Amino acid sequence: MTVRDEDGRATPAGAQREDTAPGGRDAPARGFAGGRDTTADAPDAAAPGLAQGQETTPNGPHIGTRGSAGERETAVEGLIEGLARLARAHGGGPATSVLKDTRVTVVRAGGVVAKAHPPGTDEPALTARLRAASALPGVLLPPLSTRPERLDGRLVTLWPTGEPVDPADPEGAPWESAAVLLARLHAAPPDAPALPPAGGPARLARAVALLDGLDGALAGPVATVLAAHRSLLPQITPSPDNRGSAPVGLDHERAPNPDDRGPAPVGLDHRGAPDLDGRGPVPVRLDHEGAPDLDGRRSASGMLAHGDFHLGQVIRYQGEWLLIDVDDLGTGDPAWDLARPAAWYASGLLSPGLWERFLSAYLGAAGPALPAGDPWRELDVPARALTVQLAATAVAAAGAEGRPLDEVEQALVSSCGRIAHAAAPQ
C-alpha cells in the first residue's frame, strides 16, 4: 500500500518521505504522517541509502526547462554535473549520486550534498532560512554556506551528509528525539523581520490545486476531498501576510490524554472541546496576529516552525539527530509541524503507541505549540488540513498514473468524507 506526495511519488503506507535529506537518502518512517504522501514535495523512493533516478509527477518533470525531450534531458544532465562540481568545490568527493530530481534536484558528492531549488525560489527568503539554520546548532543541520550559489538560473544550497532514519524500522525511529527537536525549534526566538511565513498552509493549497481537472473514475474521491477542504473554511482565519493559508480537515475517535495516559474522546465535531458560552467549539486561528493567548503561550503567528516536518526531515549528523530541509522554515503556527503524525494517527495509519511516544516527548520537552491539558485543541484543525493535503496528493497521483486508489489512499479519502459529513448541517 502506498500514499502519494504533491510530486506523485509513492511510498509504502505510512512510510515517511519528503525532501531528500541533505545528508543522504530520503528518510521515511513507516506510519509517520506522510508516506508517499508526506508533503507537497516528498522525496524520491529510497535505495540503499540514496534515492535513485528521475521522476515525473502529476505536473510533469520539474526541470525548469521547455523544449524537446532531448533538450530537457541535456539540461538535466548539465544541472546534475554542475551540482556535482559545486559539491566537490565545497569539499565533496569524486563519487556522485543523484538523490532526487523533481521540483528540486539533489546531488551527493562524497560528504557534501548540493541542492538546486525550484526555479523562481525567493533568494532573500532562502538566505534568511539558511542563516536561521546556521544560528540553531543542535536543532537544524547547519549549511556549508549561508549564501546560496547560482547555477543555470537556479539557487543552490550546500550541506554536509548524514545518516537518515531507517524506513524499515518504525519502532526504532527517533520519535522522541524528533519531538524534542521540534520543541526546541518552536521555543527559539525567530528572526521575524527576515523570515517568511512557514510553508505548511501554502503546501495544503498547492496539494488541493492538483485536483483541478480530474474527473472520470476519480470524480467521487475528488468531490469528497474538496468538500472536506471547503467545510473547514469557517474555522480558519488566514494570515494577512501568508497568502498560502487555506482551509483544512480530520477525524479520530480516541486520542491519548497526556495527563493520565488514557484515551480521551476527540473527533471531527470537537467532542470534548470547550464550549465557552454556548456558541460551540472555539474557532481555531492560524497565523493570526493578535490571537488571544489563552494559556500563557506566545501567539502562534510569532513562533518559529519547520513548515514541512516528518521523519524524513531528521538525520543523524556527528552523533546527534538534527532537523533538515529549511525550504519551508519560517514564522507561523507550530502546531502544523505536529499535524502530519496527528493526521496519520487520526486516520488509523499510525499506531497509538508511536503517536503517544511522539506526543509525550513533545509535551515533556515543554513544546510551546500545545497546551498540556488538551493538545487536540490546537492540533485538530492543522491535522485535518494535513489529512486533506495527503488525500489530495494521493488522488492526484492516482489520476496521473491512471490507476484506482489503493487501500491507504482510500483511507485518507474516507477520513475526508468524515470531515465533510461532520461539518454538514444535521
Question: pLDDT category, 52, cuts 50, 70, 90?
Answer: very low
- Is the pLDDT score of 395 beyond 90? yes
- Is the pLDDT score of 13 beyond 50? no
What is the DSSP code (8-state) at residue 297? P
At 260-286, the pLDDT tens digits run: 323 222 222 222 222 222 223 323 222
Question: pLDDT category, 302, cuts 50, 70, 90?
Answer: confident
For residues 52 and 25, the answer to whether their CB atoms sit within 8 Å is no
In 82-236 the beta strands, taken as DSSP E runs, fall at 96-101, 105-109, 112-116, 149-151, 154-160, 163-164
Which pLDDT does position 236 carry in this prediction? 62
How far CA 221 is from CA of 39, 185, 205, 250, in Å, comes to 19, 36, 17, 16
- Is the pLDDT score of 191 beyond 80? no
For residues 224 and 416, the answer to whether their CB atoms sit within 8 Å is yes
Which pLDDT does position 54 carry in this prediction? 27
For residues 348 and 252, the answer to whether their CB atoms sit within 8 Å is yes
At 151-165, the pLDDT tens digits run: 999 999 999 999 999
Residue 42 burial (CB < 10 Å; 0-12/13-18/19+)? Answer: buried
- Mean pLDDT, rounded, for 136-160: 97
- Mean pLDDT, rounded, for 25-42: 30
Q: In angstroms, rounded to a whole number, what is the distance separating the alpha carbons of residues 10 and 4? A: 5
- Mean pLDDT, rounded, for 52-63: 32
For residues 370 and 360, the answer to whether their CB atoms sit within 8 Å is no
| Averaged pLDDT score across all residues of the chain | 75
- Is the pLDDT score of 74 beyond 50? yes
For residues 123 and 155, the answer to whether their CB atoms sit within 8 Å is yes
For residues 56 and 8, the answer to whether their CB atoms sit within 8 Å is yes
Which pLDDT does position 365 carry in this prediction? 97
One-letter-per-residue 3-state SS of 207-237 = HHHCCCCCCHHHHHHHHHHHHHHHHCHHHCC
Q: In angstroms, rounded to a whole number, what is the distance separating the alpha carbons of residues 300 and 17? A: 26
Name the residue with cell 554535473. 81
Q: Which percentage of the chain shows pLDDT scores above 70?
A: 68
- Is the pLDDT score of 49 beyond 60? no
Question: pLDDT category, 407, cuts 50, 70, 90?
Answer: very high
Which pLDDT does position 67 carry in this prediction? 59
Sign of the dihedral defined by the CA atoms of residues 66, 68, 73, 74, in that order: negative
Q: 27-36, 109-118, 186-195, 352-361: lowest mean pLDDT where?
A: 27-36
For residues 164 and 315, the answer to whether their CB atoms sit within 8 Å is yes
Between the CA atoms of 45, 87, 84 and 115, what dihedral angle is there, to the nearest 10 degrees? 40
At 81-96, the pLDDT tens digits run: 999 999 999 999 999 9
* β partners of residue 4: 10
Q: In angstroms, rounded to a whole number, what is the distance separating the alpha carbons of residues 46 and 26? A: 6
At 315-374, the pLDDT tens digits run: 999 999 999 999 999 999 999 999 999 999 999 989 999 999 999 999 999 999 998 788
Which pLDDT does position 300 carry in this prediction? 56
At 217-239, the pLDDT tens digits run: 999 999 999 999 998 877 764 44
Question: pLDDT category, 209, cuts 50, 70, 90?
Answer: very high
* C-alpha cell recorded at residue 413: 479519502
Whole-structure pTM value: 0.73
Residue 259 CB coordination number (10 Å): 11
Q: In angstroms, rounded to a whole number, what is the distance separating the alpha carbons of residues 14 and 312? A: 12
How far CA 372 is from CA of 173, 262, 324, in Å, comes to 24, 14, 27
